[in-house]
Amino acid sequence: MTTFADLALSAPVLNAITRIGYEQPSPIQAAAIPHILEGRDILGTAQTGTGKTAAFALPTLSNIDLKIEAPQVLVLAPTRELAIQVAEAFQNYASDMRGFHVLPIYGGSSMSGQLRQLQRGVHVVVGTPGRVMDHLRRGTLKLDKLKTVVLDEADEMLRMGFIDDVTWILDHTPKERQVALFSATMPAVIRKVANTYLNNPEEIKIEAKTATVDSVTQRYWKAVGTSKLDAMTRILEAEDFDGVIVFVRTKTLTVELAEKLEARGHRASAINGDMSQQLRERTIEHLKSSKIDIVVATDVAARGIDVARVSHVINYDIPYDTEAYVHRIGRTGRAGRSGNAILFVAPRERNMLRSIEKATRKSITPMDLPSREQVKERRIDQFKASIDKALEQSDLSIYSDIVEAFVKEREVAPEQVAAALAFMAQQDRPLTMADNKPERRDSRDTTPGFNEEERPRRKERKQEEFSGESIAMERFRIEVGHEHQVKPGDIVGAIANEADLSSAYIGRINLFDDHSTVDLPAGMPAEMLQLLKKVRVRNKPLNIQSQGAAEDFTPGAKTPRPKRGNDRSNRRPERRS
């Protein structure tokens, strides 16, 4: 079994991915990383979601010379969303490389800001073809120190009409450079580009050897509007389950999520590659014997788990490839039983959902989250069932005598005593969900084309991505404004990236001199707001605070122009040391 430590990555890169919690390279990573480290050209065929970004980011970072403050890696991506995502991945993997700089460049963002950062010096540039061409024509992007060019999702760039731009850019790169081309498919035009611009490439093809799992009912929830932890809690409240395996991507999250589930009243344990074999076996035995009901696991740690009582598999994090998905859901529906698989899909992960459906030749059904009313009814039914069990199996005579005496002494109705006892019994698990914050409408995916194999064009996709339903919003104050040279795009980018929230769910932004307000979906999780408090925009922490309800908002609709104001009445006093 190959590990990242076997791949000769640099120490800072290896430290970063160890801290992130990655356990084992995906097939495309294990195959591509050694060749990219050696400087060979790569022609890789692999589906979306197989871990291609790490396959080229980790080795190219390992080969970077931080003393040379000039672009050494150029990544071409078909869309601004992918460019931002790839740039963020580079930044995460380079977290132990002091002085490292990566710059995403794409149309629609400030050209002046990109020019300033290019002048200061960057090591990696990730861009869309059009904006990269603009900088090359202006002479603001110098490629004389370039070591590696990566073409990410080459077939998508072909479909969007960028292939001529790509070849023009390749013509303007040094002759002595490495090229890594990745594509989900290999049409003739892409093959021609490879034959023209790649030098004796190493061909890597990752085929999905997946098959349908007929005994497993497969559903997905489009993960927007509600935190994944809250969503999973509701699902566990409403579903009839026996044993559950929850899959996440990192070792760190297995422990964190298991602890949060235990805090919410579930019997849960983590299982990951850092645990000894003895401890893993003990955890699996506890699952078999019903001492615990939920195991939170990574793909590597869950291999070999064969527990008949596992009725549900929840893909809390979407897997890197379709093969991993099939292995995951194969943990349920065993021993002739039926099983359930639930997949959480963020908007940016919808391509992976299509890849899974295509590979398994099965449609995955969209699901709505259980409502608060449904959860309440479920809790009441369970409480009634526990009363029935006590009536049937217990000797209640001593308790009947106590209640009868209490009724006479206090002169209260027996129903009131029963209600008080029910309240006491359910204090740790109230029959109604806590409702101290406005509830967002659950995301219902009625998106045209969301499950279709043919992806709509970019403009159509943007229009079709949202259902047209309005959602409740909450207004928040943040401590950055005009005097800090902040722009709406800065606020949107910071919140969208940190909260993993599609920018289309960020509503009106009002800019004032010393602060701003931003409308976000009502009921943002408390832990997410704590994280956003520390997020910095223009080197200022947001210190986000709620100001109450705002107007309902329709995701994907055109956001009103930001308002400017001089309102200093709500300005927070400066802290003195």
Tens of pLDDT, residues 355-385? 888 878 888 999 988 877 777 777 777 778 7
The distance of Cα 85 from the centroid of its chain, to the nearest Å, equals 11
Q: Residue 529: enclosing H or E segment and its boundaries?
A: helix 526-534
pLDDT at 245 over 80: yes
Rounded mean pLDDT, 313-337: 82
pLDDT band of residue 14 (cuts 50, 70, 90) is very high
pLDDT at residue 182, rounded to an integer: 93
Planar angle of CA 512, 515, 520, nearest 5 degrees: 100
pLDDT band of residue 567 (cuts 50, 70, 90) is very low
pLDDT at 208 over 80: no
- Using DSSP's 3-state secondary structure scheme, residue 537 falls into strand
Q: 437 Cβ partners below 8 Å, 6+ apart?
A: 522, 523
Give one word for 333, left, alpha or beta, with left for phi > 0 and alpha for psi -120 to 50.
Answer: left
Tens of pLDDT, residues 257-282? 999 999 888 999 999 878 887 888 88
Assigned CATH topology for domain 4-205: Rossmann fold (3.40.50)
pLDDT at residue 560, rounded to an integer: 55
pLDDT at residue 394, rounded to an integer: 78
CB atoms within 10 A of CB 193: 22
| Selected residue with higher pLDDT from 64 and 461 | 64
Q: Which pTM does this prediction carry?
A: 0.52
pLDDT at residue 1, rounded to an integer: 66
pLDDT band of residue 44 (cuts 50, 70, 90) is very high
| Selected residue with higher pLDDT from 177 and 432 | 177
pLDDT at residue 569, rounded to an integer: 37
Specify whether the CB–CB gap between 271 and 296 falls below 8 A: yes
CB atoms within 10 A of CB 575: 5
Specify whether the CB–CB gap between 289 and 281 falls below 8 A: no
Token pair for 107: 């149309």
Q: Single out the residue of 173, 82, 108, 168 nearest to residue 133, CA to CA.
A: 168
**Poorest-pLDDT segment among 147-151, 293-297, 407-411:** 407-411
> Mean pLDDT score of the chain, rounded to an integer?
81
pLDDT at residue 440, rounded to an integer: 37
pLDDT band of residue 435 (cuts 50, 70, 90) is very low
pLDDT at residue 12, rounded to an integer: 95
Q: 548 Cβ partners below 8 Å, 6+ apart?
A: 474, 475
Tens of pLDDT, residues 88-101? 889 999 999 999 99
Rounded mean pLDDT, 182-210: 86
Assigned CATH topology for domain 216-366: Rossmann fold (3.40.50)
pLDDT at 211 over 60: no
Give the span between the Cα atoms of 153 and 452, in whole angstroms: 19
pLDDT at residue 358, rounded to an integer: 82
Token pair for 201: 């490439």
pLDDT at 416 over 60: yes
243: β partners: 310
DSSP per position, 15-38: HHHHHHT--S--HHHHHHHHHHHT
pLDDT at residue 454, rounded to an integer: 31
pLDDT at 571 over 50: no
% of the chain beyond a pLDDT of 70: 84
Give the span between the Cα atoms of 193 and 381, in whole angstroms: 63
Specify whether the CB–CB gap between 25 and 204 falls below 8 A: no
pLDDT band of residue 551 (cuts 50, 70, 90) is confident
By the 10 Å C-beta count (0-12 exposed, 13-18 middle, 19+ buried), 372 is classed as middle
Assigned CATH topology for domain 468-565: Alpha-Beta Plaits (3.30.70)
Q: 377 Cβ partners below 8 Å, 6+ apart?
A: none
Tens of pLDDT, residues 506-524? 889 999 888 899 998 877 7
**Poorest-pLDDT segment among 52-61, 113-122, 272-281:** 272-281
| Selected residue with higher pLDDT from 57 and 493 | 57
> Are 4-205 and 468-565 equal in CATH topology?
no
For 156-159, the CB contacts below 8 A with 24+ separation are: 156/78, 156/79, 156/184, 157/76, 157/78, 157/129, 158/187, 158/189, 158/190, 159/455
pLDDT at residue 441, rounded to an integer: 35
**Could you give phi then psi for residue 490, rounded to 5 degrees?**
-65, -45
Token pair for 556: 């994907």
| Selected residue with higher pLDDT from 368 and 470 | 368
Tens of pLDDT, residues 266-324? 999 999 878 887 888 889 889 989 999 999 998 877 766 778 899 999 999 988 777 77
pLDDT at residue 470, rounded to an integer: 67
Domains in the chain: boundaries: 4-205, 216-366, 372-425, 468-565
pLDDT at residue 429, rounded to an integer: 62
pLDDT at residue 573, rounded to an integer: 35
The distance of Cα 16 from the centroid of its chain, to the nearest Å, equals 19
